[in-house]
Amino acid sequence: MIKVGIVGGTGYTGVELLRLLSQHPKVELAAITSRAEAGTAVADMFPSLRGRVDLSFTDPAQAPLKDCHVVFFATPNGVAMQQAGALLEAGVRVIDLAADFRIQDVAVWEKWYGMTHAAPELVAEAVYGLPEINRERIKSARLVANPGCYPTAVQLGFLPLIEAGCVDVDALIADAKSGVSGAGRKAETHILFAEASDNFKAYAVPGHRHWPEIRQGLTLLAGKPVGLTFVPHLTPMIRGIHATLYARITREEDFQALFEQRFASEPFVDVLPPKSHPDTRSVRAANVCRIAVHRPQEGNTLVILSVIDNLVKGAAGQAIQNMNLMFGFEECLGLSQLPVLP
């Protein structure tokens, strides 16, 4: 049994962590922080957790985080980098669900996130928490940078092709769509019901913060810089990411077999049969990525369809998957929930 703390428990990823961790047989929830909601019972804010989470939110200054074995940061960008160092010194392991430690080039991070990094010395130590690539490094990590939601769907979709070296990495295209929960639990005009419902639009086309993260991962896989066009879209749904990926073929392969073999031992990646079209509701509330491989008109372009729940495999579920690896638990422990339908 390990003691777990959560910094920032009032957002969508925070409550998703609570939902999943409260069902984990090896976890004791020890602290959940929120300055604004300190003293409020978690179950009063989130009635879905009544009878499962008996804690109240605690001000971070008073929370017993240093008594925990691991602390999750479900906070806005820029928070974990301020607090992670002290926890690591106290022997606490840290999993950051924000972007503070994802990008290894600190100057690139500062450019895209518009602030000075408070702990650049920790960036080199942080392990990027995509288990399908970094499983062995995650096991011994003190600090894990949990991947973003778009980067998870996109990297898993391109992974077998780039590892095999059978596509043109100079001209990769990722056309991705997300539900409104990806914007966080906050009041902003573009995610109001009257704005987002019955509507569909692209956004951040000149540049999205997840672009350098995705490009960094694909570059490491390819062993050289890749060319990536990434266009995100907002869809009128709550959960889910659908990434449509395009890659030009440079060498013939049995591409279906390539994907099936690469992910055969991966518990949370499901390669669908030929001609399949995965939908976001097939992964709703589950820690799974479903992938389908297409070659339209038998041409020279592959189309890969990759779907995840942005709050689970794209955030809280993947973070718990990383925790399981870090503490020597069975990787699927606490993550066996089936998708919710409808």
| Residue 85 belongs to a domain | yes
> Does residue 91 share a domain with residue 55?
yes
Which SS3 state, helix, strand or coil, does residue 2 take? Answer: strand
Q: Which residues are catalytic?
A: 149
pLDDT of residue 196: 86
> Does residue 288 share a domain with residue 171?
yes
List the single range of 66-70, 93-97, 182-186, 199-203 with lowest mean pLDDT.
182-186
For residues 8-36, average pLDDT? 96
For residues 246-266, average pLDDT? 98
> Does residue 189 share a domain with residue 114?
no
Sequence-ordered list of residues with C-beta below 8 angstroms from that of 221, at least 6 positions apart, any chain? 133, 155, 158, 159, 162, 163
Inter-residue contact 198 to 256 (CB < 8 Å): no
pLDDT of residue 130: 98
| Residue 342 belongs to a domain | no
Quick check: 187 pLDDT over 80? no
pLDDT of residue 194: 85
> Does residue 91 share a domain with residue 204?
no
| Residue 106 belongs to a domain | yes
pLDDT of residue 85: 98
Which CATH number fits the domain that encloses residue 304?
Answer: 3.30.360.10
Domain that holds residue 13: 2-125
Quick check: 134 pLDDT over 80? yes
| Residue 144 belongs to a domain | no
Two tokens at 311? 């709050």
For residues 327-332, average pLDDT? 98
| Residue 34 belongs to a domain | yes
Bridge partner list, 96: 73, 145
> Does residue 286 share a domain with residue 156?
yes
Quick check: 97 pLDDT over 90? yes
Inter-residue contact 239 to 311 (CB < 8 Å): yes
Q: How confident is the model at residue 192 (pLDDT cuts 50, 70, 90)?
A: confident
Which CATH number fits the domain that encloses residue 40?
Answer: 3.40.50.720
> Does residue 301 share a domain with residue 205?
yes
Quick check: 158 pLDDT over 90? yes
For residues 125-144, average pLDDT? 98
Give dist(CA 274, CA 245) in Å, integer. 16
> Does residue 163 share a domain with residue 105?
no
pLDDT of residue 127: 98
pLDDT of residue 202: 97
Give dist(CA 216, CA 271) in Å, integer. 24
Alpha-carbon separation of residue 20 from 12, 52, 111, 317 (angstroms): 12, 11, 34, 7
Two tokens at 129? 């928490």
pLDDT of residue 195: 87
Two tokens at 293? 């491989």
Mean pLDDT, the chain, rounded, equals 96
Two tokens at 325? 């690896």
Percent of the chain's residues with pLDDT above 70:
100
Sequence-ordered list of residues with C-beta below 8 angstroms from that of 86, at least 6 positions apart, any chain? 66
Give dist(CA 4, CA 282) in Å, integer. 30
| Residue 131 belongs to a domain | no
pLDDT of residue 68: 98
Two tokens at 256? 């279906």
> Does residue 294 share a domain with residue 170?
yes
For residues 262-291, average pLDDT? 98
| Residue 207 belongs to a domain | yes
Encode pLDDT of 204-223 as tens digits.
999 999 999 999 999 999 99
For residues 56-63, average pLDDT? 94
Give the dihedral sign, CA 60/61/65/70.
positive
Quick check: 271 pLDDT over 90? yes
Q: What is the DSSP string of 8-52?
A: --SSHHHHHHHHHHTT-TTEEEEEEE-STTTT-BHHHH-GGGTTT
pLDDT of residue 185: 83
> Does residue 175 share a domain with residue 85?
no
Quick check: 177 pLDDT over 80? yes
For residues 124-151, average pLDDT? 98
| Residue 190 belongs to a domain | yes
pLDDT of residue 179: 95
> Does residue 116 share a domain with residue 11?
yes
Closest CA to 323 of 146, 101, 150, 147: 146
For residues 267-288, average pLDDT? 98
The alpha-carbon radius of gyration of the chain (Å, integer) is 20
Q: Phi and psi dihedrals of 194, rounded to 5?
A: -70, -20
pLDDT of residue 191: 81
Encode pLDDT of 298-317 as tens digits.
999 999 999 999 999 999 99
pLDDT of residue 189: 82
Inter-residue contact 57 to 32 (CB < 8 Å): yes
> Does residue 174 share a domain with residue 118?
no
Which pTM was predicted? Answer: 0.96
For residues 16-42, average pLDDT? 96
Q: How confident is the model at residue 165 (pLDDT cuts 50, 70, 90)?
A: very high
pLDDT of residue 152: 98
> Does residue 292 share a domain with residue 194?
yes
Domain count for the chain, please give it.
Answer: 2
